């Protein structure tokens, strides 16, 4: 008999599991990228409050990571992704995305440049066949390194203070820049990035040093009320920040069963990423054609009257014709408003007259609401502390 047994542990545990399991008092776990991820450690309201008031720690290990290295790494990424990777400085990060030949989104990602020829893609879904096929003709090595890097997200207005107390002086670190610090027998890379729309950092480390790092942060952050958060609280924060998630706000082209499901970056509000002048990139022709002809869909932020979250709701034009659907929604504690991300048919966007049909649960009984919605700018929540450098100390 062999000792293999994927069936015994279909979901992997992250290097932080001994700590997150101990803290997860309700045992609320969900699958994420093949890992067990905490949905909530016990109190989603307090976890959200930690993000906006103090400091929160989120286990990022399940994010899929690919190392792109080699002489042509920048050229390869320029061909693959929408932004200009060649102009990304070493030690910097940018948010980008990539498409198939039809200009439809496959995923979005943060791209880290660790060296002139050394990048890290950090994304939601797995793409090895596409990344390997795209490497044809480039002197580049593509390797999935998800298991080789442990990652923690430290977010909140006190996060710089917590890091300072932990011995990492990140005060001068600008948004989308990273720095390396000695830690234990190795080092930790800290980037000023995150998914909360607030001041925050992401810490990248050898999995062997994961637990000491966790302990260091928790001890140092105790005076600020640091606490681990689950995906539920993070989701609330990311909606306030107006961030999209692959497979929640759009179906990646490689997974779409229906041919009309994939969306282009123009349709998902990512048109600003596209560097039309950097030379050819995958999907460029299709996107250029779409830019000229107009897009079929638009991703918008919505302000919704009342206090009922509009999750899963259908949008109507003039209360009658279906005009789109909500992909993410929440009551925002930071804004005291009901907000939503929605895909709207582009032809229904001018002129307004958009309505949302919400099924409000009132003691086991759904009540149908038809409410007028207002298209608003994203991010919904964008505090100055998010970008202030030096980072604010509390």
Partner 1 sequence: MIHDAIVIGAGHNGLVAACYLARAGMKVCVVEKNDWIGGAAVSRELYPGFTYSNCSYVSSLFRPEIMRDLELPKHGLQILPYEGGAVFQQGGGYLGMFRDHDANRREFARHSRRDAEAYDIYARDILRFCRFIRPMLMRTPPDPSSLRPRDLSELLWLGKQMGALSERMRARMVQFWTMSIADFLDEYFESPVIKGYLAVSAIIGTALGPMSPGSAYVLLHHYMGDVDGNVGAWGFARGGMGAITRALTDSLKAAGGEVRTGQGVERIDVTGGRASGVVLANGDVLRARRVISNMDVKRTFLRHVDEAVLPGEFVRRVKTFKIRGSSGKLNIALDSAPVFPALPEGAPNVRGDLHFTDSIERMERGYDDWKAGRFSRDPFQDVMIPTMIDPTMVPPGKHFMSCFVQYAPPKIEGRDWTDADRDAFRDTCLNQIETYSPGFKDRVLHVEVRTPRELEAEVGLTEGNIFQGELTFDQLLFNRPVPGYAQYRSPIRDLWMCGSSTHPGGGVMGAPGRNAAAEVLREAGMKRGMRDAYAVL
Where on the chain is the footprint of partner 1 (CB under 8 A)? 1-8, 10-12, 31, 34, 126-129, 132, 144, 254-257, 259
Q: Which is nearer to partner 1, 149 or 273 (CB)?
A: 149
Closest CB 145 distance from partner 1, rounded Å: 12
Q: Which is nearer to partner 1, 46 or 256 (CB)?
A: 256
Rounded CA gap, 231 and 240, in Å?
14
Virtual torsion, Cα 304, 308, 314, 315, nearest 10 deg: -10
Closest CB 304 distance from partner 1, rounded Å: 30
Query: Would you tell me how many other CB atoms lie within 10 Å of the CB of residue 143?
Result: 13
Closest CB 235 distance from partner 1, rounded Å: 21
Virtual torsion, Cα 258, 311, 123, 49, nearest 10 deg: 180
Closest CB 60 distance from partner 1, rounded Å: 18
Whether omega before 190 lies within 30 degrees of 0, making that bond cis, reads no
Q: Which is nearer to partner 1, 259 or 277 (CB)?
A: 259
Closest CB 35 distance from partner 1, rounded Å: 8
Q: Which is nearer to partner 1, 35 or 204 (CB)?
A: 35
Q: Which is nearer to partner 1, 4 or 364 (CB)?
A: 4
Residue with tokens 């086991």: 364
- Closest by alpha carbon to 107, among 133, 82, 132? 82
Give the C-alpha distances (Å, rounded to integers) separating 293 from 106, 111, 118, 285. Answer: 22, 30, 37, 12
Give the up-direction half-sphere exposure of residue 313: CA atoms within 13 A in the CB hemisphere.
33
Closest CB 124 distance from partner 1, rounded Å: 14
Q: Which is nearer to partner 1, 253 or 337 (CB)?
A: 253
């Amino acid at each position: 008999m062999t000792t293999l047994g994927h069936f015994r542990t279909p979901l992997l545990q992250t290097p932080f599991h001994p700590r997150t399991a101990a803290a997860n008092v309700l045992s609320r776990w969900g699958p994420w990228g093949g890992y067990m991820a905490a949905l909530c450690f016990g109190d989603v309201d307090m976890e959200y409050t930690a993000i906006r008031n103090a400091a929160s720690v989120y286990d990022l290990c399940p994010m899929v990571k690919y190392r792109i290295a080699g002489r042509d790494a920048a050229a390869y990424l320029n061909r693959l992704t929408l932004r200009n990777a060649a102009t990304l400085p070493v030690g910097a990060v940018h948010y980008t995305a990539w498409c198939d030949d039809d200009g439809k989104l496959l995923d979005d990602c943060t791209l880290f440049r660790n060296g002139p020829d050394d990048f890290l893609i950090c994304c939601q879904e797995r793409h090895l066949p596409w990344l390997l096929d795209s490497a044809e003709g480039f002197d580049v090595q593509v390797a999935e390194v998800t298991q080789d890097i442990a990652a923690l997200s430290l977010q909140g207005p006190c996060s710089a203070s917590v890091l300072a107390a932990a011995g990492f002086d990140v005060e001068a670190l600008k948004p989308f820049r990273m720095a390396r610090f000695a830690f234990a027998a190795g080092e930790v890379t800290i980037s000023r990035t995150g998914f909360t729309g607030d001041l925050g950092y992401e810490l990248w480390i050898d999995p062997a040093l994961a637990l000491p790092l966790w302990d260091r942060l928790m001890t140092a952050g105790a005076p600020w009320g640091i606490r681990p958060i689950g995906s539920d609280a993070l989701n609330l924060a990311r909606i306030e920040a107006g961030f999209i998630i692959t497979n929640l706000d759009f179906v990646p082209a490689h997974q779409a069963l229906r041919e009309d499901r994939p969306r282009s970056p123009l349709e998902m509000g990512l048109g600003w990423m596209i560097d039309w002048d950097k030379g050819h990139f995958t999907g460029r022709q299709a996107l250029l054609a779409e830019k000229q002809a107009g897009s079929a869909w638009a991703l918008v932020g919505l302000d919704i009257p009342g206090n009922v979250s509009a999750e899963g709701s259908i949008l109507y034009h003039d209360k009658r014709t279906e005009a789109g659907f909500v992909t993410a929604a929440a009551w925002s504690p930071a804004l005291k408003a009901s907000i939503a991300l929605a895909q709207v048919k582009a032809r229904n966007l001018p002129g307004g007259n958009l309505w949302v049909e919400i099924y409000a649960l009132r003691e086991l009984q759904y009540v149908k609401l038809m409410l007028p919605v207002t298209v608003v700018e994203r991010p919904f929540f964008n505090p100055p502390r998010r970008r202030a450098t030096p980072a604010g100390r509390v």
